[in-house]
């Protein structure tokens, strides 16, 4: 770099500058990027630009303490000064001309800065404007810093322009003259070689460094120092300047700063943290000042030198080398940070933000966040949470642990934000937490008993969290499946085994709570829906060791009875007492709401019904109950009956409901027949005032009923015979049999204390009518009643019990007692009274006896055998030859809907109807042939 | 005190009026069961009583009468089959 020729008249250059300045009088306050770039060829320029860009990017990435980012313009470096105080800064002499004198620099004409440079280590790192005290404007005369515009020398310099921020508005008038004078003055006194000047300059710079390092004021103005650097650089002394600067910086960081730090840092790790942080803050501030002074060096030389670091980078390297990566300090510092994090974790956030935040920022500014800090931090956190999870998982209950997981995830994420950790760290920490607290604790989180307890309590909150936690580390559905299934099976089985009257309502509640958990916390997981169905179906159809007959049939029976209850009593049954009791007639109080509610209830029960494999049991009981409802007129709503029938038809097909529909059809036909009979002559003549109604049943559609002999009163028997003749006349080829056990009637009874209507069964009526033949005070013996009624002993006993020992006692038993004995005698209860006029005593007819129940189960079991046999024969007829295993499978498949037999029973049935083709082969490979004996089939 | 019947709701069931052990002359199934093509006994699978005294499932007899070889005769006694009006 050639020397700059400043021989050109300063006045002319001054004038030109003045003109320029005139165009932008407020230039000093304008922020414009400095154009310090020496002239380069295109390539060099690109290089510089690249490096500048990199630096700018780096500067943007580095969250420097407050305003410590690198100044981008000179005006930022030395902020504009208020005009009253604005003045031309001190300037060095131009390098070559003799006119410039190093001994008598314009400094003389400038008032020294009033303020002392006070390092403000703890405050902002920007250079406070108060530090830059420029001389009073009036005393400034000349701006020597301007390069002569037509300087013939090195083009590199020629094109460099003064940062606008440094330009001082041109001031016409006497001041111009004053300027000239000063220049002249300079010229006359300027003597000595440039080397002397550079030495002087370096001396002031060196003194400034010393001042910065020792925290004292810098005696030379910053502007002067800046210019000095510039001049050194222009004089091609960048390299030695940089080397010397670097050495000084290293000397400081390596010794003084480090010693101070070691002094400050006591034994505690967090003391080290504080000390390092303090050293860092101090160094940043100092470095910033250094960089301001050596800014020209930074920009003109270091930035374009590919192998050299900028001043800032140099400073960071030195800090790294001597402090943060020092063998002794570095590890202690990191340990300190880690222990602060641990303290924060254990104390739920007691560590102050202001302590850790700058450290984290420092780590990233030093570029050791990712290399030194993060990996160790993650690994230490992993250890911490591993220990923590172990401890928590085994001391807390599941709900507590789930809450802890949620809490820790929240806290850790909050902690990352609070201490401004990198996003990558946050992500990793979250996955560490997931791994340590969730994934590694899956056995605890999915423990069947603990999860079962949550399900039992329907702890929606915990279950929701549990599902989302597990979903973070795997397939929540698969993970929860075993516990879910176990709970359903175990809890369901206990409901089934209780066998009490509340079984169905318990099942309904259970199902509804499972649905709620599935739809809410378990996010309608498909797998869990499937296993819900499977498990529900498993326990509800499980063979019950307590039942001897028709295994797994109890739930089906109870469901049928629950439906009966609903259809008999409507939704009232659910709110009131659900056991038998005396109910008022189906009063027409049903409003729309109740119908809708009933429909919902029926739909819910149907939901249970769908799980039942043994639909035959349901059908048997449903049929019996429907028969009772129809024959005794006990349906709460004909619409509900019809809608239930439609639902069953949809569920199970028309084969299932054919008989049920037949029952409704019989009821309709009976009504028609009765209308015909009542309008016939015989129907009216022989009535004796009795309003007769007959239900004529097609036997195959209805349940089978035992034939109970009975002696009816003569009049009635005659009237019934008349009807029979009427019917047979109309339906040739058919004959009619009375089912008196199902008949009921209304009796008019005038008790001394009032007239009553008694709704009684045929059996009860027959017994009561016997008392017409004796005086009111006379009694009838058990045996005479039995003889006269023609009823079997068992029925006499039940009937008398219902009349003399039930809720309404129309007979008086002697001797008194709960049970009826053959030696008892009975009289009419002449003191009978009740608030109601119409009294139903025929509940006994509605109640299923134990024998009846057993019989129904037995018949279902028997039918199952037939169905199985039919299935076996159907399969054999179509296949002729079939593997043993396959035959059993297909038999099960075909009988699944109605009710499946035990495999052993299926085998027995197979052996009855088919013969083995290969007697010697092992069972699994055994083939069956259709029996040759056609008779069996 | 007198007790008097006001109304009586009786229940009765009907059966085909044929001897207990008699079977359909065509399909050999008892009359309270169905013909081979039916599942539900009763009115769905009715009975035809011939004037000759032989009874059949209606479905069975119709199948027979529809064959050419039947020539409208009772399959049991080879008399012209006429059924009793019901
Ligand atoms: Zn037949
Ligand atoms: Zn038929
Ligand atoms: Zn014949």
Ligand located closest to B27 CA: 1
Lowest mean pLDDT among A434-438, A445-449, A712-716, A900-904: A900-904
DSSP A854-879: HHHHHHHHHHHHHHHHHHHHHHHHHH
* pLDDT given at position A595: 80
In the structure, what pLDDT confidence band is assigned to residue A519 with cuts at 50, 70 and 90? Answer: very high
CB B72 within 8 A of CB B65: yes
Is A690 close to B40, i.e. CB distance below 8 A?
no
User: DSSP label at A371?
Assistant: I
User: How many CB pairs below 8 A link A and B?
Assistant: 148
Q: pLDDT value at position A71?
A: 42
pLDDT-derived band at A49 (thresholds 50, 70, 90) equals low
Q: Does A503 score more than 50 pLDDT? A: yes
Domain that holds residue B13: 1-86
Class of domain A194-326: mainly alpha
Interface contact flag, B42 A737, Cβ < 8 Å: no
Q: What is the pLDDT of residue A38?
A: 42
pLDDT at A150: 40
- The Cα of B37 is separated from the nearest Cα of chain A by a number of Å equal to 14
Whole-angstrom CA distances from A112 to A80, A131, A136, A184, A241 are: 18, 12, 10, 22, 26
Considering only alpha carbons, which residue of chain A is nearest residue B55? A733
Percent of chain A with pLDDT over 90: 34
- What is the model's pLDDT at position A401? 96
- Segment A394-407 shows an average pLDDT of 94
pLDDT at residue B60 in the model: 92
Tell me which chain A residue has its CA closest to the CA of residue B13. Answer: A697
Give Cα A54 to chain centroid, integer Å: 44
Partners of residue B12 in chain A, C-beta under 8 Å: 694-697, 724, 727, 736-739
Query: 3-state DSSP helix/strand/coil percent for chain B, to nearest 5?
Result: 15, 30, 55
Query: In terms of CA atoms, which chain B residue is nearest residue A661?
Result: B40
Query: Above 80 in pLDDT, residue A842?
Result: no
Indicate which of B2, B6, B11, B49 best probes the interface with A, i.e. most A CBs within 10 Å of its own CB: B11
pLDDT of A563 higher than 50: yes
**Residue of chain B whose alpha carbon sits nearest to that of A627:** B11
Flag if B8 and A731 touch (Cβ within 8 Å).
no
Is the CB of residue A287 less than 8 Å from the CB of residue A315? yes
A199-244 tens-digit pLDDT: 888 888 888 999 998 888 888 888 888 988 888 888 888 888 889 8
Average pLDDT, chain A: 77
| Distance in Å, alpha carbon of B67 to nearest chain A alpha carbon | 26
- Checking A729-735 for CB contacts under 8 A at 24+ apart, the result is A730/A673, A730/A676, A731/B14, A731/B86, A732/B17, A732/B49, A732/B84, A732/B85, A732/B86, A733/B16, A733/B17, A733/B18, A733/B47, A733/B49, A733/B84, A733/B86, A734/B14, A734/B15, A734/B16, A734/B17, A735/B14, A735/B15, A735/B16, A735/B17
A519 vs A516: CA distance, rounded Å: 5
How much is the pLDDT for A930?
A: 55
Q: What is the pLDDT of residue B19?
A: 82
Which residues, 6+ apart, have CB-to-CB distance to A540 below 8 Å?
A492, A496, A507, A552, A555, A608, A611, A612
Domain layout of chain A by residue ranges: 1-82+91-192, 194-326, 667-730, 743-840, 850-928
The strand pairing partners of A693, in sequence order, are B9
The answer to whether A750 faces chain B, any CB pair under 8 Å, is: yes
Mind listing the pLDDT tens digit for each residue in A568-592?
887 776 664 433 333 344 444 445 6
In sequence order, what are the beta bridge partners of A840? A759
**Which of A203, A188, A186, A84 is CA-nearest to residue A143?**
A186
Beta strands in A348-439 (DSSP E): none
Is any Cβ of chain B less than 8 angstroms from the Cβ of A235? no
A701 vs B: CB within 8 A: yes
User: Residues in chain B with pLDDT < 70?
Assistant: 1, 86
In A, minimum Cα distance to B42 occurs at: A698
Q: What is the pLDDT of residues A56-67, one digit of tens each?
A: 444 444 434 433
Domain A743-840, CATH among 2.40.50.180, 3.30.230.130, 3.40.190.10, 3.40.50.1980:
3.30.230.130
Nearest-CA distance from B11 to chain A in Å?
A: 5
Which range scores top for mean pLDDT: A5-14, A92-101, A895-904? A895-904
Structure tokens at A346: 């254990």
Ligand 1 centroid to residue B33 C-alpha, Å: 9
- A593 at the B interface (CB within 8 A)? no
- Banded model confidence at residue A382, pLDDT cuts 50, 70, 90: very high
Please check whether residue A549 is in contact with residue A575, taking contact to mean a CB–CB distance below 8 angstroms. no
Predicted pLDDT at A914: 67
pLDDT at A789 over 60: yes
Judged by CB atoms closer than 8 Å, whether chains meet at B1 and A749 is answered as yes
Confidence class for position A53, pLDDT limits 50, 70, 90? low
What's the whole-model pTM score?
0.69
A446-455, A581-590, A602-611, A623-632: least confidently modelled range: A581-590
Give the CATH class of A850-928: mainly alpha
Residues of B in Cβ contact (< 8 Å) with A747: 3-6
Check which CATH number belongs to the domain holding B77 and give it: 3.30.40.10
Residue A895 contacts residue A868 (beta carbons within 8 Å): yes
Ligand nearest to the CA of B50: 3
Q: Which residues pair with A828 in a beta bridge?
A: A811
Task: Kindly state the DSSP code that residue A93 receives in the 8-state scheme.
Answer: P
Please give the pLDDT value at position A478. Answer: 94
SS3 A698: strand
Instruction: List A95's β-bridge partners, or say none.
Output: none
Could you tell me which residues of chain B have a Cβ less than 8 Å from any Cβ in chain A? Answer: 1-18, 32, 39-43, 47, 49, 84-86
pLDDT of residue A590: 46
Let me know: does A511 contact A823? Beta carbons within 8 Å.
no
All residues of chain A having their beta carbon less than 8 Å from the beta carbon of residue B6 are 690-691, 745-748, 757
Determine the distance separating the centroid of ligand 3 and the alpha carbon of B46, expressed in angstroms. Answer: 18
Residue in chain B nearest A633 by alpha carbon: B9
Contact between B10 and A633 using a beta-carbon 8 Å cutoff: no
Total structural domains in chain B?
Answer: 1
For the ranges A156-160, A236-240, A415-419, A532-536, the lowest mean pLDDT is seen at: A156-160
A731, B86: Cβ pair inside 8 Å?
Answer: yes
pLDDT average, residue stretch A247-272: 83
- For range A108-128, the mean pLDDT: 37
Write out pLDDT tens, residues A860-875.
888 888 888 888 888 8
Candidates A375, A265, A246; CA nearest to A311 is A246
Q: Please give the torsion angle defined by the CA atoms of residues A887, A890, A896 and A901, in that order, rounded to the nearest 10 degrees.
A: 0
- In tens, the pLDDT along A155-205 reads 333 334 444 444 344 444 444 433 444 444 444 444 567 788 888 888 888
Q: Return the percentage of chain A with pLDDT > 70, whole number.
A: 74
Whether A125 shows a pLDDT value over 50: the answer reads: no
Q: Is the dihedral of CA A352, A354, A356, A360 positive or negative?
A: positive
Contacts of A732 in chain B (CB under 8 A): 17, 49, 84-86
Q: What is the pLDDT of residue B25?
A: 87
Is the ipTM here above 0.85? yes
- How confident is residue A916, by pLDDT bands cut at 50, 70 and 90? low
Which residues in chain B have their CB less than 8 angstroms from residue A696's CB?
12-14
Q: pLDDT tens digits, residue range B30-47?
A: 888 888 888 888 888 888
Contact B13 A828 (CB under 8 A): no
Q: Is A756 on the interface with B (CB under 8 A)?
A: no
Q: Count Cβ atoms within 10 A of the Cβ of residue A513 and give its class: 0-12 exposed, 13-18 middle, 19 or more buried.
A: middle
Closest CB from B1, B14, B47 relative to A696: B14
Indicate the range of A794-803, A842-851, A853-862 predicted with least confidence: A842-851
Yes or no, beta carbons of A748 and B41 under 8 Å apart: no
Q: CB B11 to CB A738 under 8 A?
A: yes
Q: Which two tokens stand for residue A728?
A: 């047979």
Examine the pLDDT at A77 and tell me if it is beyond 50.
Answer: no
Is residue A634 within 8 angstroms of chain B, CB to CB? no
């Amino acid at each position: 770099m050639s020397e700059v020729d400043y021989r050109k008249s300063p006045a002319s250059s001054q004038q030109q500058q003045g003109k320029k300045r005139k165009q932008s009088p407020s230039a000093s306050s304008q922020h414009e990027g400095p154009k310090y770039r020496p002239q380069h060829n295109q390539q060099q320029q690109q290089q510089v630009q690249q490096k500048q860009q990199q630096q700018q990017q780096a500067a943007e990435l580095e969250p420097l303490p407050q305003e410590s980012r690198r100044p981008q313009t000179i005006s930022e470096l030395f902020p504009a000064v208020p005009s009253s105080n604005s003045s031309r800064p001190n300037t060095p002499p131009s390098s070559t001309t003799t006119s410039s004198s190093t001994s008598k620099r314009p400094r003389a004409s400038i008032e020294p800065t009033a303020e002392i440079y006070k390092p403000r280590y703890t405050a902002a790192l920007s250079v406070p404007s108060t530090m830059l005290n420029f001389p009073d404007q009036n005393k400034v005369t000349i701006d020597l810093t301007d390069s002569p515009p037509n300087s013939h020398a090195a083009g590199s310099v020629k094109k460099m322009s003064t940062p606008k921020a440094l330009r001082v508005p041109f001031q016409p008038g006497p001041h111009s003259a004053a300027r000239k004078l000063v220049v002249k003055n300079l010229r006359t006194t300027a003597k000595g070689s440039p080397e002397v000047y550079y030495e002087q300059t370096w001396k002031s710079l060196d003194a400034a460094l010393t001042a910065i390092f020792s925290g004292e004021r810098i005696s030379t103005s910053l502007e002067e120092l800046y210019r000095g650097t510039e001049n050194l650089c222009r004089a091609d002394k960048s390299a030695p300047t940089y080397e010397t600067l670097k050495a000084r910086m290293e000397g400081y960081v390596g010794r003084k700063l480090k010693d101070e730090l070691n002094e400050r840092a006591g034994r505690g790790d967090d003391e080290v943290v504080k000390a390092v942080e303090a050293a860092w803050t101090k160094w940043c501030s100092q470095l910033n000042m250094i960089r301001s002074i050596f800014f020209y060096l930074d920009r003109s030389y270091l930035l374009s030198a590919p192998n050299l670091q900028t001043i800032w980078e140099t400073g960071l390297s030195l800090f790294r080398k001597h402090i943060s990566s020092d063998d002794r300090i570095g590890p202690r510092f990191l340990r300190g940070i880690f222990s602060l994090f641990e303290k924060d974790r254990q104390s739920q956030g007691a560590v102050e933000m202001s302590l850790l935040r700058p450290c984290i920022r420092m780590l990233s500014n030093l570029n050791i966040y990712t290399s030194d800090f993060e990996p160790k931090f993650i690994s230490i956190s992993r250890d911490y949470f591993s220990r923590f999870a172990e401890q928590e998982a085994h001391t807390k209950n599941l709900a507590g642990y789930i809450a802890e997981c949620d809490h820790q995830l929240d806290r850790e994420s909050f902690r990352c934000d609070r201490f401004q950790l990198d996003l990558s760290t946050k992500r990793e920490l979250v996955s560490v937490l997931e791994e340590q607290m969730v994934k590694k604790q899956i056995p605890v989180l999915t423990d069947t008993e603990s999860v079962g307890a949550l399900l039992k309590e329907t702890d929606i909150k915990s279950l929701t969290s549990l599902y989302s936690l597990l979903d973070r580390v795997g397939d929540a559905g698969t993970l929860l499946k075993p516990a879910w299934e176990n709970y359903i099976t175990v809890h369901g089985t206990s409901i089934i085994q209780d066998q009490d009257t509340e079984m169905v309502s318990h099942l309904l509640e259970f199902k509804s709570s499972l649905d709620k958990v599935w739809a809410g916390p378990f996010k309608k997981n498909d797998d869990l829906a499937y296993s819900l169905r499977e498990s529900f179906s498993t326990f509800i159809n499980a063979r019950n060791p307590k039942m001897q007959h028709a295994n797994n049939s109890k739930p089906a029976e109870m469901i049928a009875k629950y439906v009966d209850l609903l259809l008999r009593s409507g939704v009232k049954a659910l709110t009131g007492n659900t056991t038998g009791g005396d109910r008022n007639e189906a009063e027409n109080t049903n409003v729309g709401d109740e119908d809708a509610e009933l429909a919902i209830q029926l739909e819910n029960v149907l939901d249970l019904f769908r799980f039942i494999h043994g639909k035959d049991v349901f059908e048997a009981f449903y049929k019996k109950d429907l028969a009772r409802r129809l024959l005794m007129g006990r349906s709460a709503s004909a619409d509900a009956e019809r809608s239930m029938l439609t639902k069953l038809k949809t569920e199970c097909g028309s084969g299932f409901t054919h008989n049920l529909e037949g029952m409704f059809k019989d009821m309709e036909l009976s009504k028609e027949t009765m209308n015909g009979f009542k309008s016939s002559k015989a129907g009216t003549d022989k009535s004796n005032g009795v309003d007769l109604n007959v239900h004529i049943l097609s036997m195959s559609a209805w349940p089978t009923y035992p034939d109970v002999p009975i002696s009816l009163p003569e009049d009635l028997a005659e009237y019934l015979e008349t009807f029979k003749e009427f019917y047979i006349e109309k339906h040739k080829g058919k004959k009619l049999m009375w089912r008196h056990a199902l008949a009921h009637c209304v009796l008019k009874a005038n008790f001394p204390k009032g007239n009553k209507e008694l709704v009684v069964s045929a059996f009860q009526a027959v017994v009561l009518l016997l008392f017409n033949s004796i005086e009111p005070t006379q009694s009838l013996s058990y045996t005479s009643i039995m003889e006269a009624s023609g009823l079997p002993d068992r029925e006499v006993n039940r009937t008398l019990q219902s009349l003399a020992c039930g809720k309404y006692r129309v007979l008086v038993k002697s001797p008194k007692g709960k049970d009826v004995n053959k030696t008892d005698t009975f009289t009419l209860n002449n003191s009978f009274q009740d608030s109601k006029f119409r009294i139903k005593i025929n509940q006994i007819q509605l109640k299923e006896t134990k024998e009846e129940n057993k019989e129904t189960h037995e018949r279902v079991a028997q039918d199952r055998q037939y169905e199985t046999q039919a299935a076996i024969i159907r399969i054999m007829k179509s296949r002729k030859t079939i593997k043993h295993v396959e035959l059993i499978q297909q038999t099960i498949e075909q009988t699944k809907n109605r009710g499946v037999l035990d495999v052993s029973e299926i085998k027995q049935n197979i052996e009855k109807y088919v013969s083995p083709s290969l007697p010697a082969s092992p069972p699994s490979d055994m083939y069956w042939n259709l029996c040759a004996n056609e008779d069996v089939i | 005190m007198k007790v008097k019947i006001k109304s009586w709701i009786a229940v009765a069931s009907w059966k085909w009026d044929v001897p207990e052990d008699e079977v359909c002359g065509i399909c050999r199934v008892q009359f309270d069961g169905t013909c081979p093509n039916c599942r539900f006994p009763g009115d769905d699978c009715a009975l035809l009583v011939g004037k000759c005294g032989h009874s059949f499932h209606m479905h069975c007899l119709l199948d027979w009468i529809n064959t050419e070889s039947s020539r409208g005769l009772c399959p049991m006694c080879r008399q012209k089959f006429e059924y009793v009006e019901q």
